[in-house]
Structure 1
Amino acid sequence: MKNNFTKEQLRIKAIELFNNKWNISEICKTLNCSRRWFYKWLKRYKNDQSGCWYVEESRRPKTKKKKIGSNTELLVLETRKQLMSTAFMQYGPQAIFYHLKMRNIAPPPVWSIARILQQNKVTHIKRPDTYKAKGKKYPYAYLLSQQMDFVGPRYLYSKTRYYFLNLICCDTHYAQVSALESQGSNNVCNSLIRFWKTAGIPDFLQMDNDLSFWGSLIRPTALGKVIRVCLLHKVTPVFIPIREPWRNGIIEHFNNTMQAAVLNSERFDNIDQIQASADRFCQIHNQNHYYSTQDGKTPEQCRKHLNYPLVVLREDYRLPDKPLALSEGEIHVIRFVRSDLKFNIFGLSFILPEETQYEYIKGVILTSEHKLKIFKEQKLITEFKF
């Protein structure tokens, strides 16, 4: 029967049957409609019996979206051009927002700025989401820590090889870039000392398993100069799991930003020019790059806001010329233990109990006791001579 009526006739017929004392179930069955549909039009009928209650009402939104003003749009685009014209400056929606705020101009929301850039087709293609590790929980995090990483090798047009050694404070994103001719431990130690004179000495220094950080594969228990410098200044070295660079995620993200800014800016003839460009980038990064994880503060602003408690080295400090003795302290080595139950430390293997299989395990080397203690989270599992 439903197909014999138009929509409006069907609504009128349903109310006529209701007024004729038909049962609602019979009305719905006869007209092949739902009870919800019937009650909707019954309510409309009772509210407006003499009017056109059976006519469909407009479904247009009652409020219109506020259109972004042309002046605001022009301001955003001009600010972006201004930021792009300055070397190493950020020029995304968040950078534009904070730049306008610093000029005492009330900025539109970040999402509005992003929409303006998208409408004017001046946005970059968004990279796919970075890989997120799945599976086992990684239970080891460190406060008052810094991260260190090598980038390279890279090559000049003269085929001269060089490396970047990057350091960053995890709490403030304050960073330093050093352009080095080699990965030698002396270069690493000098870069550390230079960084600690400005950023301060951390409690922990987290790094990957680059051999120049550890020392030697021939004598892996004779800990290298980088570790000795750390222990001399009461810094605990932390070595992340093998082939898991995302555990150093802060410095890895900084590496990408640094390379895109420095290496694409100009052509270099020697390493001194690269170092000068890297220093300019670090100055702009530390003073002008805004981080959402820091409530929109730059690294310098965050250091002042946190009243960063790290003690800085004296400006006239120099490393001793004589070989460094091994100071008392701890060295943390984190590994993912697989089915062979081996805990590997730069060529040394230690067989662990079965409860450590497919788990992240932390080895703590105690230099004063010459021991390697194995922990699963906070639980001591076993220990070895080292």
Structure 2
Amino acid sequence: MKTEIELRKRAVALSLQGRKKSEIARMLQRSRPWVDRWIDRYRAEAPRLSLQDRSRAPKQRRCAYPDRIKRMVLQIREEREQGQRAKYQYALISAQAIYYELRDLDISPVPSPRTIHGWLKEAGRIPERRSQKAPNPTYPVLPCQAVNDVQELDFKGPFYLQDHAHKYYLVTLRDKWSKKTALRALANKSMDAILDFLVSAWQKMGCPRYLKMDNCLDFRGSNRHPRAPSKLMRVCLDLGVQPVFIPICEPWRNGVVENLNGLLDRFLFRTKTFETEKQLHKAVQQTETTINTTHHLSTLRGKTPQAFAAHAELCLPPANYDWRTRDLRLLK
């Protein structure tokens, strides 16, 4: 009975004689992938060595990190979740964010984000993901290949000041490509307040090609006149922005801004209370600045939104643009 090495030599010899691989497999009673493997491995300069078994040991040994680094990772995660320290007040809690912090602290050896994620999962700090509803394939996806191709608009609230019954709302605008963000706390949901925020934000961020929003009444206009374009839509068209409404009851269509709403809930409302309107506006402004200037995101190649969009060409509204004095009638 021939040994395995002799069968490999025989397969190579038959191949050099011009036999087909399928024929060799039948003659030697081996599978076709087996024949492919040993014919490909054969080297004329090392005929015996090239047909020997190769080691199945891992090519790269797993790096054994010191226990102090693992403890540091878990401690940073806990402090980021609590947000009690000043530098963690509006910080991200992901493995990627922890990796950037360790890198900036010159920790050596610095573990990869995947390793950090594994440690957090092993410690039970990462909850299981809920199953997501399959997207509707018939709904068109807006093209987004540059800064301000698509911006997403949303409301969050109501929320209240301490010992006050007046409702406040947080209006959020976020660029889908650069993740640059604009925030403002509003004392009401009037269309005038929304438009003042939008024009002010676009004078800094630039006007988008498309503005995505949900079908809430504050954006689409009036139930009494459902076919009449809202004032928001008219201002968008006046500035060359195409308004786009996502399907009803499908908030994941605005996934970028909805994800931000989850962060804002942790940054502003879950652990904090505000006694005055001045405190609220100051916290919202500080949150906006922190998100744009300190959040390093893997989708931005490790850059912050401000740095990623720094060299983008922006389409700004006219310097003295005032939507109140514009003729917003739509003429056929």
State the one-letter code of the partner of 1:158.
H
1:153 to 158, 164, 188: 158
Give the CA RMSD over aligned residues: 2.9
Q: 1:300 aligns with which of 291, 296, 306?
A: 306
| CA deviation after TM superposition for structure 1 residue 65, in Å | 4.3
Shift in Å, 1:294? 2.2
In 2 relative to 1, CA 260–132 (structure 1 residues): closer, same or farther, beyond 3 Å?
Answer: farther
Whether 1:113 aligns to 2:116 is yes
2:313 pairs with 1:309: yes
Matched, 1:67 2:70: no
SS of 2:205's equivalent? coil
Q: Secondary structure at the match of 1:148?
A: strand
Q: Name the aligned partner's letter for residue 310 of structure 1.
A: L
Which residue in the other structure is 2:90 paired with?
88
How far, CA to CA, are the matches of 2:265 and 2:245 in structure 1? 24
| TM-superposed deviation, 1:237 | 1.0
Correspondence 1:199 to 2:205: yes
Aligned counterpart in structure 2 of residue 281 of structure 1, from 283, 287, 304: 287
In the alignment, which residue of structure 2 is the partner of 1:262? 268
How far the C-alpha of 1:155 sits from its partner, in A, is 3.1
Matches within 5 A, 1:1-386: 65-77=62-74, 79-80=76-77, 83=80, 84=83, 85=85, 86-105=88-107, 107-119=110-122, 121=123, 123-133=125-135, 136-143=137-144, 144-156=149-161, 157-304=163-310, 307-313=311-317, 317=320, 319-322=322-325, 324-326=326-328, 367-369=330-332
Q: Determine helix, strand or coil for the equivalent of 2:309.
A: helix
Q: Which residue of 1 aligns with 2:23?
A: none
Q: CA deviation at 1:169?
A: 0.6
Measure how far apart 1:326 and its partner are: 2.7
**Code of the aligned partner of 1:67:** A
Distance (whole Å) between structure 2 residues aligned to residue 236 and residue 163 of structure 1: 25
Using the TM superposition, give the Cα deviation of residue 74 of structure 1 relative to its aligned residue in structure 2, in angstroms.
4.6
1:166 counterpart SS class: strand
In 2 relative to 1, CA 185–92 (structure 1 residues): closer, same or farther, beyond 3 Å? same
5+ residue gaps, structure 2? 1-28, 31-55
Q: Deviations over 1:154-211 (max 9, x none)?
A: 2334222111111001111111221112111001001101211221111111111122
Residue-by-residue CA offset, 1:294-329 (whole Å, 9 max, x unaligned) = 22322112113xx22222346x6452544x4236xx
Q: Secondary structure of 1:146's match? A: strand
Structure with the bigger RCO (C-alpha within 8 Å, sep 6+) is: 2
Secondary structure of 2:120's aligned partner: helix
Which secondary structure state, in structure 1, belongs to the residue aligned with residue 299 of structure 2?
helix
Runs of 5+ consecutive residues of structure 1 not aligned to the other structure:
1-34, 37-60, 328-366, 370-386
Cα distance between partner residues in 2 of 1:185 and 1:250: 23
Size of the alignment, in residue pairs? Answer: 268
Contact 1:228 1:325 in 2 (8 A): no
Q: Distance in 1 between matches of 2:181 and 2:323?
A: 25
1:233-277 deviation line (CA, Å, top 9, x unaligned): 111111111222111111111111111211023211233322221
The share of aligned pairs that are identical, in percent, is 28
Contact 1:179 1:271 in 2 (8 A): no
CA 1:103–1:181: 2 relative to 1, 3 Å: same
Of Structure 1 and Structure 2, which has the larger fraction of its residues in strand? 1
State the AA in 2 paired with 1:155: Y
Equivalent residue letter for 1:102: D
Hey, which of these two has a bigger chunk of helix by percent? 2
Letter in 1 for 2:193: N
Contact 2:178 2:305 in 1 (8 A): yes
Q: How has the CA–CA distance of structure 1 residues 196 and 117 changed in structure 2, closer, same or farther, with 3 Å as cutoff?
A: same
Query: Do the aligned partners of residues 98 and 204 (structure 1) sit closer, same or farther apart at CA in structure 2, a change above 3 Å counting?
Result: same
